[in-house]
Structure 1
Amino acid sequence: MTGKRQAEQRGRRSKPWWLGLALAIMGALWLNGARSISSTTNYIGLGPAAIVLAVGLGLTVLGILLILQALRGEFAAAADEAEAPPSHPAFLLALAGVAVPLLTMRWLGFPLTAMLAFALVTHAFGSRRTGLDLVIGFALGSAAWLGFSRLGISLGGFLPLIG
């Protein structure tokens, strides 16, 4: 058998539809969890369950789309492609980016914590423009803080170290 034919057969065998199914199930679990959240609303008509519902719906829709792509053969399994092995330092940097908010939110505040988390995760994905990543992270964190503040949701002080 030729290499091309082997690759075609391997591609037909390994359709990772199960990945889409797992994503759709995760979305359904989020949607089910949103039912138990109180439905009180504030002045804009959105309650605490709105974000959970949006994430659950998004995960469910993306899971269904992923299943359809896999069944049509448009989604190749990573094992079928020749790619570099996983990078342990990159994984640890991304993990640090996720852990930073747990450790620094109270004393650094939301914008600075978002800045650090964003820079760590972008560095894990290959960005080497640390200064730009820090600026973008601070801008996104500040915008999120201001947006939530306007909705009446407190994320703590803007910069607790200064104030």
Structure 2
Amino acid sequence: MHDDQNGEVTESNGRRVLRFVRRFPAAPTEVWSAITEPERMARWAYPGTIELRVGGAVRFDYGEQGEGNGVVLACVEHSLLEYEWGEGSDQWHIRYELVDDGEGGTVLTFDHFLPDPSNAEFAAGWHWHLERLGEIVVGRETADVQSDDRFLALMEMYSSR
């Protein structure tokens, strides 16, 4: 993994973005699988489906909070997935870029384009989700544990930055 696991606000194509860069000790095909296969995706993010083609449907199930629907904007198998979901001011735009690191691992650049990407809640949430993704990628089971303590610690960290 990269030494710095924290997200940072940066610019990409003239837009502000919350960016995380993570290195996983697994091939891009393995990371891609964890990001895109419904049964694996549900273990680190939300239950849902992604049609892996430009224009494909994106659906997330938030349980009692409803669901999110969107569209795939870019898709290159094992290297790039970009989509948006939601409506109006609650629309999210996400981009995953996977690069083989030449040593059997993958460097993931995760971008969340948002009107206010400096929001500590978003940074803490994605930090936590990407930690879980890292566990899935290396074959560890992630317990369905209450994340409040970890999330609150991350919120405090990002709020003080």
Decide: shared fold, TM above 0.5.
no
Question: TM (normalized to structure 2)?
Answer: 0.26
Q: Which fold has the larger relative contact order, with Cα–Cα distance below 8 Å and residues 6 or more apart in sequence?
A: 2
More helix as a share of residues:
1
